[in-house]
A = this chain, B = another copy of it.
Amino acid sequence: NSAHKNSISIAVMPGDGIGPEVMKPAIALMDRALERTGGPKLSYEELDAGAECYRRTGTPMSEEVFEKAAAADAILFGAMGLPDVRRPDGIEIAPQLDLRFRLELFAGVRPVRTIPGAPTPLADPRAKNLDFVLIRESTEGLFTSRGKGEVTPDYVRETWEITRAGSERLFDFALQLGRRRKAKGSPGSVACVDKSGVFRAFAFFRQIFFERAKAFPDIDARAFNVDATALDLIRRPWIFDVLVTENQFGDILSDAGAALMGGMGMAPSADIGLTHGLFQPCHGTAPDIVGMGKANPTAMILSAAMMLDWLGETKQLPSCGAAADLLQRAVDAAFAPGDLRPFELGGEAGTQAITDRVATQLEALP
């Protein structure tokens, strides 16, 4: 909605807890990367949403804020939610879920890319160079039932729904991503992850996957059971290229993926729809370390890089894509010497130290 505008508008929702602490450096680094590549200027509008907002105003995200977010070119989202702030029915404050549903951000993109030099948990050397992507369906599946379960004193029932239309757009997205990755040297395999041996909904899901894959003869289309995938994420995660799965399964598997990268503070994500994109680190609000300068900004910086990449692609702005690449390489270069150990990974590097390292690399890189 804005290739013609002079600047690109970003709705910034810094969120709760450490959200704002990592948002600030990420924006500064992103701006500098765009300057270096001659990219467009981004204009930011800070918007109020989250658990603090709920506590203050009674709503986690006002309609006015929603409208502004929907009108922006992209949404940059911090961590949201606080343990002691819940809706009266006990449900957590998570405006990202509302945005996923209302803006139809159906593709939750969760890259699992280990950064050489950063601490990672698996002993096998092949796990030091992981590079795969998990696509999590984000508008249906079990989440169809979010906050809508049928509650009685004796039982609660939730509805798990998988639609043909929702699955088709999801698989097309994943297969296209597989193709783009293959063009850059990846194996070009895309795997549907389900539990089709037990549930009809997943037999349906898998069948639609193979139907859509027919239009991608260049892609090696596979299917895995969700339990076997949980096993292989630990046993041999290097076999994966693109994984695509249902909402709740994706929620679980993507956290395992984040662990493979070293933790939530290292893991970026994007929620992509046909018209909108939202970018958010995987980590939570970490109330225990707020104000201590200990938050790891890496996931937020990498989420900003994903946003630049997406803007570059959807708005055909190569300078934006170049800035994404530069920012990503600066993060890699920051960790490459192997001495940058974030607090969350048992080290001493806080928000400032990590930001400074990335900033230095941003200047130094060709």
Contacts and interface: CB of A to CB of B under 8 A. Distances in A.
A293 to B, nearest CB: 22
Contacts of A157: 159-161, 201
Interface residues of A, number: 66
A146 B234 contact: no
A240 interface: no
Report how many copies the assembly holds: 2
Given A230-B255, A234-B259, A252-B230, A149 B199 contact: yes
A64 interface: no
Contacts of A204: 149, 151, 156
A258 B235 CA distance: 10
A313 interface: no
A17 to B, nearest CB: 15
A264 interface: yes
Interface stretch (A20-28, A71-79, A117-125): A117-125
A160 B198 CA distance: 14
Nearest to A153: B164
A154 interface: yes
Interface stretch (A32-40, A86-94, A320-328): A86-94
Contact of A198 (B94, B162, B201, B254): B94
B121 A197 contact: no
Contacts of A124: 121
A196 interface: yes
A256 interface: yes
A158 B160 CA distance: 5
A230 B264 CA distance: 12
Interface in A130-169: 142-143, 145-149, 151, 153-165
A203 interface: yes
A124 B94 CA distance: 33
Interface in A187-228: 195-201, 203-205, 226-228
Contacts of A254: 227
10 contacts: A81-B197, A89-B203, A94-B197, A122-B123, A149-B204, A151-B204, A153-B164, A159-B159, A227-B254, A234-B256
Pairs of residues from A and B, 5 with the lowest C-beta to C-beta distance, nearest first = A92-B197, A149-B200, A234-B259, A156-B201, A227-B255
